């Protein structure tokens, strides 16, 4: 059995992420990472007063829960803190804006699939 972690992620889609990455590359916006317990969230620094971060980002946020290995989670955190100052692209599916680890547990893929189904069933009640 491997060690897994339940992770909450706030994200934006790939197209919106590319727009933000272009603004970062043009030094119009930048970010720092705020850490609060197990929550890592991007905090924006706006260098161009004509940019409305709410319309670019906060009105387009989505949320998901995933189960990944603890090693993968630690790798994501390392990439989040990397010096390239681009948004973190997760598996070419979306860009991470906030990541929060909830609980760790020992499991395998079969048990994880059962756990995911149970979470989904409880959420849909």
What pLDDT is stored for residue 124 in this prediction? Answer: 75
**Percent of the chain residues past pLDDT 90, beyond the cut:** 66
What pLDDT is stored for residue 19 in this prediction? Answer: 94
What pLDDT is stored for residue 44 in this prediction? Answer: 93
- pLDDT confidence bin for 110, thresholds 50/70/90: confident
Average pLDDT score over the chain:
90
Q: Where are the domains of the chain?
A: 2-123
Collapsing DSSP to helix, strand or coil, 81 comes out as coil
> Can you tell me the distance from the alpha carbon of 24 to that of 44, in angstroms, rounded to the nearest whole number?
10
- Complete DSSP assignment for 30-44: EEEEEEETTEEEEEE
The residues facing 12 across adjacent strands are: 95
Q: What is the DSSP-derived secondary structure letter of residue 97?
A: E
**Percent of the chain residues past pLDDT 70, beyond the cut:** 98
Average pLDDT for residues 62-80, to the nearest whole number?
94
Whether the predicted pLDDT of 101 surpasses 80? yes
Residues contacting residue 80 through CB under 8 Å, at least 6 positions apart = 33, 40, 88, 96, 99
């Amino acid at each position: 059995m491997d060690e897994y972690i339940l992770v909450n992620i706030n994200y934006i889609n790939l197209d919106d992420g590319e727009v933000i990455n272009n603004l970062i590359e043009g030094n119009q916006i930048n970010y720092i990472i705020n850490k609060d317990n197990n929550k890592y969230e991007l905090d924006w620094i706006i260098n161009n007063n004509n940019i409305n971060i709410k319309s670019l980002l906060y009105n387009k946020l989505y949320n998901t829960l995933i189960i990944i290995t603890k090693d993968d989670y630690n790798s994501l955190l390392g990439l989040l803190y990397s010096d390239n100052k681009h948004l973190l692209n997760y598996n070419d599916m979306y860009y991470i804006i906030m990541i929060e680890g909830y609980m760790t547990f020992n499991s395998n893929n079969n048990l994880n699939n059962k756990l995911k189904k149970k979470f989904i069933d409880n959420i849909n009640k």
